[in-house]
Structure formats: C-alpha cells, structure tokens
Amino acid sequence: MADQLGNDRRTRHAVVIGGGLAGLLAARVLAEHAERVTVVERDRYPEGPDARPGVPQARHLHVLLEGGQRALESLLPGFLDELGELGAPRVGMPQDLVQWANGSWIRRSRATTHLYTGARPQLDRLARHRVLADPRIETVEGAEVVGLVGDSARVRGVRLRERGAGAEKEARTLDADLVVDASGRGSKAPDWLAAIGAEAPHEELLDSGLAYATRIYRSEEDPERTDALGYYVVPNPRQVYGAVVLPIGEGRHLVTFSGLRDDPPPTDEAGFEEYAKRLPHPLVSEWLARAEPDSPVFGFRKTANLRRRYDRPGRRPAGFLAMGDALATFNPIYGQGMAVAALSAVALRDALGDRRKTPSTRRVQRALFDASAFAWDISTGADKKMPGVTGNILGTRVTDKPTSWYFDRIQERYMSDPVVGAPFRAVLTLTEPATALFAPEVVRAVLAPVREGLHEPAMWRETPED
C-alpha cells in the first residue's frame, strides 16, 4: 500500500490502540475508510457512567471547550443535545462564573462562549454508545498492545496480550494495514518503533510543577447570595494558588485546588479545606463551609506538557499514526484535552477525505500535529511564566518579547473590557485563531489605558443595560 492511507486503495483493517475519547473518535473516522476497525482497550468498559482506571483524571474536572463541542457535533451529529439531555451543565463565560484573575474580579457580562462541565465518565459513555453502534467497529477489551509488527518501512499490525496474564502468556498478532496510537500520555510507541528498527520521535517537555486535588461536594442553590453557577480563581506567576468550583449535575460540584510542586494541595479532608485559605479571597472557603462533602479527595501530579514530534523527518514506518495524548498532552488546568481529541479526529477525517492530495502517513501525521499545535502554544506559553518551570523548550525566540508585551496587556484588560474579553475567550476555547486578538478594534482597546477592574466578587450577572 506504499505510504498511502486511503484514496487509491481502501484500507482493509485499521487498529486503534486505546479506547478513550481520542481512540473512539479516530475509529469513527476510520470506519469510513476501512472495511473494519478494531479498538484495543486495556480496561474493560464499565456498564454505567463510571470512571475507568485507564482515565486517571476521570475523577477530576473536565470541561468541553466550545471548539471541542463544534468538532464533536460534526463527527457525531446530535451529540450535544444528547449530552444536555443527560444533565450535563452548560456554563456561560463570563456570565455564569465568579472569577478572579490578575488581581481583580471579572465582570459578569453577557456570555460569549459556553462550557459543558458534566462528569467525564458521562461524556465517555455517550461517545462509546454512539461510536460502537457502528457494526464496522469492534473492540478487544482487557488486552494491551506490547509491540508493533513490521519494520522500519511499514507497520503491519500489533502484538497484544491479555492483560494480567503474566509473562507466561504469549502475545498474539493482530494484522492491520493502519495502526493509530491513541493510548494516551503513557504511550510506549517510541519503544515499539525502536524495536522494529524505526526512529523514536524527539520529545518536547515543559513542566510547571502544577499539582491539584479534587473532591465532590453537594450544594443547594442560594439565590439570595448569588446567581453564579461556579467560581474560578485563576493562578498566575505572582499568585500560584488556583481553585475551581463547577457544577457536574444533580446538585453536585467538583471542587479543585491547584498549587505548585513545593506546596501541593493535600489529599486529606481537613487539609484540603484548609488549603482554600491560601487563595486571595475567602469566597471559596466560605462556599465549602456551606457545602456537604460527597467523595474522598483525589490528587493528581502528572501535569507536564509533553509532545512527541512524529511530524519531523525521521526513519519512521508507513501505516503508523499517533494522536490524542499519545501525540501531545497538556497541563490539564487549561481544559484542552477533550477538545483537542475531537479537533484531531476532524483533522484526520479531512486529511483522509481530501481527494486533491495523497493521504500519506507523513501528510496525515502533520495534519494531526497541526490540530494540536495551537493548544500546545497556549498551554506552554502560559506555563513558561510560572516560577520553577522545567523542561527542554525553555529558550526564547526573538519574537517572544514583543508578543509577551502584547499578551500581557490583553490579560490586564480582558476582565473588564468586553472588546478584549470576547476574542480572548474565543482563542482560549479553540474557536478562533490567535489572529483574532489582532483585529483593529482589539488592538485599539489593548493600546488604550486599562480600565479599573472590580475590587469585589461579582456575585450577580450584569443587567442588559450595563
């Protein structure tokens, strides 16, 4: 099949490693180009909307950014309506949240973007239901891939073994014309490629040292105190403690605290609530005092940005692609993971479906890289400014200083100026490119004197005449 993936000759069998959101959406796309698709999943899927061990962050906050919503809807029409019917809350920004950033409170003006904040297992289960209803897609559960079949010229399948069987259980071969690695941050593909004589990708790493802890609380609405749906304290290099309180449905809220490696949020119950006192305002601590705990505290520490440069030239085989967290994973505080998984599946669909170009492995891998590059720039650009950051991409470019100056002014103004706030949120939610921040009206606002921010929390939405 040379280095082609789909135009001139139909792929007979595609294997997707990993049955998370990225893998399922990849399978959905590949089903239009292959006679059959097999998803190999290490876990066994739960019957209900429960967390899987293979999604270590499932107990923590997940938001579906608007860019990801649009991508998911294009892949699975009607998905957002179904998500809403399941009770996933839809939160408008900045209207529905009391937010603190850069030393002041954000005006709760009309929402220009929305987030879905339901529990991650709920979204995963809906995606599984939609994707696996396709008879062209089958799953192998409870099995892990332990290597690739092929050589440095071409991958021809995978070797997999029943999970937990031990070394005495022999691996079996699953032949494939195309293998897609969507196995997540802990992907072993670099080692697998080296084992067949191919070249492992260069890895880029940036680690801010962020650590966070999460607990579920139950809280009744309090219309006399606020009409907000949640709270968000945004950390920055001068104030490194963060907090998020967001609804996940049925009166429950996920509460997450974040800090850096030298002072991480504790996972014991008393310490967790005491940590709220590190925040620049007692608002969240006061909310906790009125709420009822509904789960243990769960911690998470693996928050480094990691990208594998499969897009660069090298001795790599045809018939192998990487996407999702196996390609690029981001500091979870920015909430980009699910959106990038969906945007990458759209990029895969478009690259395979483009009749004007031969969908070679290298061309398609480049499209997948490009789909995640903007989120990478946002995440690493912010993390580079945090104290104590480490990694191998800390160097600065000639253009970094003026760009940093401009974006610092944006961040000083977006809290109080809707002209700056709307495009800033559109960029952060992956619905607009960074060029939206250089529109003439935005530049004028950025160069004008900064408006005075709010000194107290905005407990109520602004009225239309404001």
Find the helix packing angle between 21-30 and 337-353, rounded to 10°: 20
Nearest C-alpha neighbor of 421 from the set 458, 374, 453, 381: 453
Alpha carbons within 13 angstroms on the beta-carbon side of residue 81 total 4
Q: With beta carbons less than 8 A apart as the criterion, state whether 171 and 310 touch.
A: no
Partnered with residue 213 across adjacent β-strands are 257, 299
What confidence tens digit (pLDDT) does each residue in 6-33 have?
434 557 999 999 999 999 999 999 999 9
Write the CATH number of the domain with boundaries 211-300: 3.30.70
Nearest C-alpha neighbor of 225 from the set 287, 159, 139: 287
pLDDT at 53 (0 to 100): 66
What confidence tens digit (pLDDT) does each residue in 126-173 have?
999 999 999 999 999 999 999 999 999 999 999 999 987 555 678 899
Q: With beta carbons less than 8 A apart as the criterion, state whether 85 and 104 touch.
A: no
Nearest C-alpha neighbor of 291 from the set 255, 241, 322, 340: 255
At residue 189's C-alpha, the angle toward residues 141 and 43, to 5°, is 20
Pairwise CA distance, residues 77 & 334, whole Å: 26
pLDDT at 1 (0 to 100): 34
pLDDT at 61 (0 to 100): 82
pLDDT at 309 (0 to 100): 97
pLDDT at 5 (0 to 100): 59
pLDDT at 6 (0 to 100): 42
Nearest C-alpha neighbor of 244 from the set 412, 97, 88: 97
Second-level CATH architecture of 11-62+123-205+304-381 = 3-Layer(bba) Sandwich (3.50)
Nearest C-alpha neighbor of 331 from the set 414, 444, 210, 456: 210
Residues 6+ positions from 322 with CB-CB distance below 8 Å: 180, 181, 182, 187, 189, 201, 308, 310, 365, 368
| Block mean pLDDT (10 aa), the chain, length 466 | 48 94 98 97 84 67 94 98 96 97 94 94 94 97 96 96 72 96 96 97 97 94 92 95 95 96 94 96 96 94 95 94 97 94 98 87 96 96 94 79 88 93 97 96 96 92 66
Domain boundaries, the chain: 11-62+123-205+304-381, 211-300
Q: Do domains 11-62+123-205+304-381 and 211-300 have the same CATH topology?
A: no
Pairwise CA distance, residues 76 & 335, whole Å: 21
Q: Using a cut of 0.85, tell me whether the model's pTM lies above it.
A: yes
Query: Helix, strand or coil for residue 153?
Result: coil
